[in-house]
Amino acid sequence: MTTEPTFPFGQEIAWQPNADWIAASNLQAFMDRHGIATYDDLHARARADIAWFWDAALADLGIDFYTPYTQVVNLGDGVEFPRWCVGGKLNIIHNCLDKWQDTPTRERIALRWEGEEGAIRTLTYGELYAEVNRCANALRGLGLGKGDAVGLYMPMIPELAIAFLAIIKIGGVILPLFSGYGPGAVVARLADAEAKAIVTADGLLRRGGAVPMKPTVDAACAEVPSVRHVIVVERAGSAATPMTAGRDHWWHDLVPRQPAAAATAITDAEDVLMIIYTSGTTGRPKGAVHTHCGFPVKAAQDMRHSMDLKPEDTIFWFTDMGWMMGPWLVFGALLNGATMLFYDGGPDYPAVDRVWALVERHGITHLGISPTLVRALKPHGDEPVRCHDLASLRAVGSTGSPWDPESWLWTFHTVLGGTKPILNYSGGTEISGGILCGDFFRPLAPCAFSGPVVGMDADVVDEAGNPVRGAVGELVIRQPWIGMTRGFWRDRDRYVETYWRTLPGLWVHGDFAAVDAHGLWYILGRSDDTIKVGGKRLGPAEVEAILNKHPAVRESAAIGVPHPIKDQEVVAFCVLRAGYAPDETLRSALVDLVTTELGKPLKPRTVKFVTALPKTRNAKVMNRVIRAAYLDLPLGDLSSLEHPATVDAIRQAI
């Protein structure tokens, strides 16, 4: 069953493409090279022949192979398990760093870094190459090599990028971990991947204070005997950091003394490059498996084609390496020969203008932020933005949570001057980037996506798998793409069950989506968070967007709870702005607001007031945790939960 989409679906067009920008874009050059007349024609050709498209995309990115592939893609094992670049030998580090060393790119800045305390450091492609080689030699000196998994549990500092790339250099497997994980979450991931080593820091700096990290690693290593080496970067100045003889090594003692030249391990194009974990609703986390010719290529292609990243550009995304946007930032920037920025600190410290100061100071052209962050900064007004020169910006990217029109329009007008696009971006860890994205070719409305990223054969379908337009359906992908996860680590059945069994032959992503009369796409919430009221499917985001319009509401979350007749009914949780009282008058007003917008059959059972909502570290509200807490059910995997006390806030509201 499909339903009519509601707010914020079908907004009026706010931004029109600039013809000069299109003419100068990477994607227009790609189309001209292949004799393709229009943007729609490009999408059609990419859908009609995925082998042609990905072969052309690899060439457009200039991806070098030690041994050329003999077949772009082999679907002999079914669409669930394609093999890409068959017969090719490729270590992606060659394309990230090695190949630039005899070109002018060697002198371009590869990495800019700023710490919360104000420290700044830059590394050119040549300098980063030398540091990566030193780290690779250090890893090899510890006996690490091809196929060995190495954990990365670090703040966003230059050494993180260096270690990340050095693991690739030796043919190892990257195991990114959120810098805020506790011991249990670190144990689960290190043990599952049988990690041989972990690179960490003594601590990180947040809001002027030091947060220890090494004790968490020590506690985890006590339960993971496969970890033989721990390399520690001194970041927080914790001189008393305990070190275990024979296992622990200070970075500054181990890495700088190594030679600046190192051989690159020759790997197959489909050798495992990275295992990056996503949280499951229940049970252990899911380890998405990615290869040398997969995740990096998709990340770089998204940046090049949808976001029009050019070598002279600087891209920054507020992220952690444990979220897929961290590896995405590194691979996408370096494969395009551009500059990436790492920032290690709070987005509003020591003042609320920190984000905009970063843009001005580093000449950021592509700024990646979440709508949640915008909603936190917007109440401080326009002045913190306008006191900085943001002329370098070409676009704002966004991911992680749904937009509301008010915050979108504030960003569009206040940050981008009403002339530059917001590149709304949605995909996932298993995608290696985006399914949908904004771009420079099509008009944009608040909260909308231009459509699928070129190369993604996406659709919106009903429960039988038939395409639908102007109605809410499931977001699906009809054909494989090069960045598709090669499955879950040691859990083939769980991978197939998660994405392929709902509608056989289609990747069902788990998002509600809709396409409006302009051909613009919208994500309307997780379909696994679906609320079904009297046969009508309702996405939580639809309810939340209505509640967030009320001036008293800072943010909200909606869940479905059992009802004996209607199957389910809505219960909403609201965090209020300062100055508003959580009383019955406001509760009734919010219930009436939702009822008026959605109709009497969808009237919420109640609205609860809470001090905070459970969120992941990348600011996604965990609706399924809220529902479990409300119904007193098992909470499932909480390793991505940023503040456990927020679950207690839900229970107290009940």
Q: Which strand ranges, in their side-by-side order, compose the sheet holding 149-153?
A: 248-250, 229-233, 197-201, 149-153, 173-176, 272-278, 286-291
Single-letter residue type at 303: M
CA dihedral angle for residue 146, residue 147, residue 149, residue 154, rounded to 10 degrees: 40
Is residue 574 over pLDDT 60? Answer: yes
Q: What is the pLDDT of residue 1?
A: 43
Q: Can you tell me the mean pLDDT for 39-57?
A: 98
Single-letter residue type at 77: D
DSSP 601: G
Q: Do domains 19-90+271-526 and 530-653 have the same CATH topology?
A: no
Pick from 307-316, 365-374, 562-571: least confident: 562-571
Domain covering 98-254 in this structure, CATH number: 3.40.50.980
Q: What is the pLDDT of residue 7?
A: 60
Q: Which strand ranges, in their side-by-side order, compose the sheet holding 314-317?
A: 120-124, 109-115, 339-344, 314-317, 366-369, 395-398, 422-428, 433-437, 451-452
pTM for this structure? 0.87
Contact (CB, 8 A) for 559 and 513:
no
The CATH class of 530-653 is alpha beta
Q: Can you tell me the mean pLDDT for 182-190?
A: 88
Q: What is the pLDDT of residue 11?
A: 84
Q: Where are the domains of the chain?
A: 19-90+271-526, 98-254, 530-653
Q: What does the pLDDT look like over 278-298, one tens digit per residue?
A: 764 445 678 999 999 999 999
How far, CA to CA in Å, does 610 sit from each of 595, 633, 647, 650?
A: 21, 19, 10, 6
Contact (CB, 8 A) for 181 and 143:
no
Contact (CB, 8 A) for 24 and 41:
no
Is residue 509 classed as helix, strand or coil in its secondary structure? strand
Q: What is the pLDDT of residue 600?
A: 77
Rounded Cα distance between 302 and 324, Å, is: 14
Rounded Cα distance between 530 and 539, Å, is: 5
DSSP 243: -
Is residue 542 over pLDDT 80? Answer: no
The CATH class of 19-90+271-526 is alpha beta
User: 524's torsion region: left (phi>0), alpha (psi -120 to 50) or beta?
Assistant: alpha
- For the chain, give percent helix, strand, coil, nearest 5: 30, 25, 45
Q: What is the pLDDT of residue 653?
A: 74
CA dihedral angle for residue 616, residue 617, residue 620, residue 624, rounded to 10 degrees: 0
Position 540 confidence tier, pLDDT thresholds 50, 70, 90: confident
Rounded Cα distance between 514 and 460, Å, is: 6
Rounded Cα distance between 278 and 297, Å, is: 20
Q: What is the pLDDT of residue 282?
A: 42
Q: Which two tokens stand for residue 204?
A: 């990180």
Q: What does the pLDDT look like over 410-469, one tens digit per residue?
A: 999 999 999 999 999 999 999 999 999 999 999 999 999 999 999 999 999 998 999 999
Q: What proportion of the chain, given as a percentage, has pLDDT over 90? A: 77
